[in-house]
Protein backbone atom coordinates (compact mmCIF):
# COMPACT_ATOMS: atom_id res chain seq x y z
CA UNK A 1 0.00 0.00 0.00
CA UNK A 2 1.38 3.39 -0.96
CA UNK A 3 -0.29 6.15 1.03
CA UNK A 4 1.12 8.92 -1.14
CA UNK A 5 -0.05 7.62 -4.50
CA UNK A 6 3.53 7.72 -5.79
CA UNK A 7 5.68 4.66 -6.30
CA UNK A 8 8.81 6.14 -4.70
CA UNK A 9 10.90 3.09 -5.53
CA UNK A 10 10.57 3.96 -9.23
CA UNK A 11 12.11 7.43 -8.71
CA UNK A 12 15.65 6.01 -8.55
CA UNK A 13 16.59 7.79 -5.34
CA UNK A 14 19.47 6.78 -3.08
CA UNK A 15 19.45 7.57 0.65
CA UNK A 16 22.07 7.87 3.37
CA UNK A 17 21.71 8.58 7.08
CA UNK A 18 24.84 9.76 8.85
CA UNK A 19 25.38 10.45 12.55
CA UNK A 20 26.49 14.08 12.86
CA UNK A 21 26.29 13.96 16.66
CA UNK A 22 26.64 10.79 18.68
CA UNK A 23 26.04 9.91 22.33
CA UNK A 24 29.04 9.58 24.61
CA UNK A 25 27.42 8.37 27.83
CA UNK A 26 24.47 8.28 30.18
CA UNK A 27 23.29 6.69 33.39
CA UNK A 28 21.33 3.45 33.57
CA UNK A 29 17.75 4.05 34.65
CA UNK A 30 17.12 0.40 35.62
CA UNK A 31 13.43 0.50 36.62
CA UNK A 32 13.19 4.19 37.54
CA UNK A 33 11.32 5.43 34.45
CA UNK A 34 10.64 8.88 35.91
CA UNK A 35 14.29 9.41 36.88
CA UNK A 36 15.87 8.37 33.62
CA UNK A 37 18.58 10.49 31.99
CA UNK A 38 18.81 10.70 28.18
CA UNK A 39 21.88 9.80 26.19
CA UNK A 40 24.22 12.76 26.02
CA UNK A 41 24.76 14.37 23.70
CA UNK A 42 21.58 13.38 21.87
CA UNK A 43 21.87 11.43 18.63
CA UNK A 44 21.32 13.54 15.51
CA UNK A 45 21.32 11.97 12.05
CA UNK A 46 21.55 13.79 8.74
CA UNK A 47 19.56 12.50 5.77
CA UNK A 48 21.12 12.83 2.33
CA UNK A 49 19.19 11.86 -0.79
CA UNK A 50 20.37 11.68 -4.38
CA UNK A 51 17.96 11.66 -7.32
CA UNK A 52 18.24 9.47 -10.43
CA UNK A 53 20.82 11.88 -11.92
CA UNK A 54 22.99 11.60 -8.75
CA UNK A 55 22.10 15.16 -7.72
CA UNK A 56 21.77 15.87 -4.02
CA UNK A 57 18.15 16.76 -3.31
CA UNK A 58 15.65 17.17 -0.49
CA UNK A 59 12.82 14.70 -1.22
CA UNK A 60 9.97 16.94 -0.03
CA UNK A 61 7.34 14.71 -1.64
CA UNK A 62 8.57 11.73 0.37
CA UNK A 63 9.38 13.31 3.76
CA UNK A 64 5.92 12.63 5.26
CA UNK A 65 6.48 8.92 4.57
CA UNK A 66 9.99 8.54 6.08
CA UNK A 67 10.85 7.51 9.62
CA UNK A 68 14.03 6.53 11.41
CA UNK A 69 14.01 3.77 14.05
CA UNK A 70 16.62 2.97 16.73
CA UNK A 71 17.72 -0.34 18.18
CA UNK A 72 20.51 -1.12 20.65
CA UNK A 73 23.56 -3.23 19.89
CA UNK A 74 26.68 -4.38 21.64
CA UNK A 75 29.91 -2.82 20.32
CA UNK A 76 30.38 -6.03 18.30
CA UNK A 77 27.01 -5.58 16.57
CA UNK A 78 24.92 -8.13 18.47
CA UNK A 79 21.32 -7.17 19.23
CA UNK A 80 20.88 -5.83 22.78
CA UNK A 81 17.38 -4.39 22.45
CA UNK A 82 15.69 -6.83 24.88
CA UNK A 83 17.12 -8.35 28.05
CA UNK A 84 16.05 -10.62 30.88
CA UNK A 85 15.56 -8.45 33.99
CA UNK A 86 16.59 -9.69 37.45
CA UNK A 87 12.93 -10.55 38.20
CA UNK A 88 12.82 -12.84 35.12
CA UNK A 89 10.76 -10.49 32.93
CA UNK A 90 11.92 -9.71 29.38
CA UNK A 91 12.28 -5.92 29.12
CA UNK A 92 13.42 -3.38 26.57
CA UNK A 93 16.87 -1.89 27.09
CA UNK A 94 15.86 1.34 25.32
CA UNK A 95 13.25 3.79 26.50
CA UNK A 96 12.07 7.08 25.07
CA UNK A 97 11.30 8.18 21.55
CA UNK A 98 12.84 5.45 19.41
CA UNK A 99 11.17 6.50 16.15
CA UNK A 100 11.67 9.97 14.68
CA UNK A 101 10.14 11.80 11.76
CA UNK A 102 12.37 13.94 9.54
CA UNK A 103 12.83 17.58 10.54
CA UNK A 104 13.92 20.31 8.17
CA UNK A 105 16.43 22.58 9.91
CA UNK A 106 19.30 24.89 9.05
CA UNK A 107 22.78 23.53 9.54
CA UNK A 108 25.43 25.67 11.23
CA UNK A 109 26.29 27.26 7.86
CA UNK A 110 22.65 28.24 7.22
CA UNK A 111 21.93 25.57 4.60
CA UNK A 112 18.64 23.64 4.66
CA UNK A 113 18.96 20.01 5.65
CA UNK A 114 16.90 17.08 6.81
CA UNK A 115 17.64 15.58 10.22
CA UNK A 116 16.40 12.93 12.61
CA UNK A 117 16.89 13.84 16.27
CA UNK A 118 16.54 11.60 19.31
CA UNK A 119 16.63 13.89 22.37
CA UNK A 120 15.18 11.55 25.01
CA UNK A 121 16.57 8.03 24.53
CA UNK A 122 17.66 6.21 27.70
CA UNK A 123 19.27 2.83 28.39
CA UNK A 124 18.10 0.55 31.19
CA UNK A 125 21.30 -1.18 32.38
CA UNK A 126 25.02 -0.47 32.70
CA UNK A 127 27.27 -1.50 29.81
CA UNK A 128 28.91 -0.44 26.58
CA UNK A 129 26.60 -0.14 23.58
CA UNK A 130 25.97 1.46 20.22
CA UNK A 131 22.79 2.51 18.44
CA UNK A 132 21.67 1.19 15.08
CA UNK A 133 19.44 3.52 13.08
CA UNK A 134 17.28 2.33 10.19
CA UNK A 135 15.60 4.61 7.65
CA UNK A 136 12.20 3.30 6.50
CA UNK A 137 9.17 4.28 4.50
CA UNK A 138 6.05 4.01 6.62
CA UNK A 139 4.48 2.20 3.68
CA UNK A 140 6.75 -0.80 4.34
CA UNK A 141 9.63 -2.57 2.70
CA UNK A 142 13.27 -3.05 3.63
CA UNK A 143 15.31 -0.24 5.21
CA UNK A 144 16.41 2.46 2.77
CA UNK A 145 19.65 2.82 4.74
CA UNK A 146 21.14 1.96 8.12
CA UNK A 147 23.99 3.32 10.20
CA UNK A 148 25.52 2.68 13.61
CA UNK A 149 27.01 5.03 16.15
CA UNK A 150 30.34 4.71 17.88
CA UNK A 151 30.17 2.77 21.15
CA UNK A 152 29.18 4.70 24.29
CA UNK A 153 29.11 3.91 27.99
CA UNK A 154 26.15 3.54 30.31
CA UNK A 155 27.23 3.89 33.93
CA UNK A 156 25.48 3.97 37.30
CA UNK A 157 23.81 7.20 38.35
CA UNK A 158 26.47 7.67 41.05
CA UNK A 159 29.26 7.49 38.45
CA UNK A 160 27.57 9.66 35.82
CA UNK A 161 28.97 13.03 34.85
CA UNK A 162 27.06 14.69 32.02
CA UNK A 163 29.10 15.94 29.06
CA UNK A 164 28.74 19.63 28.18
CA UNK A 165 25.85 20.66 25.94
CA UNK A 166 27.17 20.76 22.39
CA UNK A 167 26.97 23.75 20.07
CA UNK A 168 25.07 21.60 17.56
CA UNK A 169 22.43 20.73 20.17
CA UNK A 170 22.07 24.42 21.05
CA UNK A 171 21.91 25.39 17.36
CA UNK A 172 19.12 22.93 16.56
CA UNK A 173 17.25 23.60 19.81
CA UNK A 174 17.22 27.34 19.08
CA UNK A 175 15.33 26.68 15.84
CA UNK A 176 12.42 25.27 17.86
CA UNK A 177 11.71 22.43 15.42
CA UNK A 178 12.92 19.71 17.79
CA UNK A 179 13.03 20.40 21.52
CA UNK A 180 16.10 19.16 23.36
CA UNK A 181 14.90 20.30 26.79
CA UNK A 182 17.49 23.03 27.23
CA UNK A 183 16.72 25.84 29.64
CA UNK A 184 16.70 29.05 27.63
CA UNK A 185 18.28 31.28 30.28
CA UNK A 186 21.22 28.90 30.78
CA UNK A 187 22.82 29.75 27.43
CA UNK A 188 21.07 32.81 26.02
Per residue in 134-152, pLDDT tens?
999 998 889 999 999 999 9
- Label residue 127 by pLDDT band (50, 70, 90): very high
Q: What is the pLDDT of residue 166?
A: 94
DSSP letter assigned to residue 79: B
For the residues 39-68, what does the mean pLDDT come to? 95
Provide, rounded to the nearest whole percent, the portion of the chain with pLDDT above 90. 78
Q: Is residue 54 part of a domain?
A: yes
pLDDT band for position 33 (cuts 50, 70, 90)? confident
Q: What is the CATH number of the domain that holds 55?
A: 2.60.40.3960
Residue 157: which of 6, 31, 52 has the closest Cα? 31
Residue 2 lies in a domain: no
Establish if 3 belongs to a structural domain.
no
Residue 50 lies in a domain: yes
Q: Is pLDDT of 4 > 80?
A: no
What pLDDT does 180 receive?
Answer: 78
The answer on pLDDT for 184 being more than 80 is no
pTM summary value: 0.90
Of 19, 24, 37, 20, the C-alpha closest to 164 is 24
How many structural domains is the chain composed of? 1
**Residue 1 belongs to a domain:** no
Domain residue limits at 145: 8-186
Q: 112 lies in a domain?
A: yes
At 48, phi and psi to the nearest 5?
-115, 140
Which of the two residues, 48 and 7, has the higher pLDDT score?
A: 48
Residue 152 lies in a domain: yes
Residue 77 has pLDDT above 90, yes or no: yes
Q: Is the dihedral of CA 77, 19, 104, 163 positive or negative?
A: positive
* Pair 73, 129: CB distance under 8 Å: yes
Instruction: Name the band, by pLDDT with cuts 50, 70 and 90, for residue 8.
Output: low
Confidence of residue 73 (pLDDT cuts 50, 70, 90): very high
In a domain, 166, yes or no: yes
Residue 140, sorted as left (phi over 0), alpha (psi -120 to 50) or beta, turns out to be: left
Amino acid sequence: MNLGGINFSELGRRYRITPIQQPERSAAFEGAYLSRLPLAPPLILQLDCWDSEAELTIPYDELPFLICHLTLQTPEGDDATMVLAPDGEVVSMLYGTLVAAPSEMLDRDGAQGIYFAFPDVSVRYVGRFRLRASLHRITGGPPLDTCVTEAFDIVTTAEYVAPPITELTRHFDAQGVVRFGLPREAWA
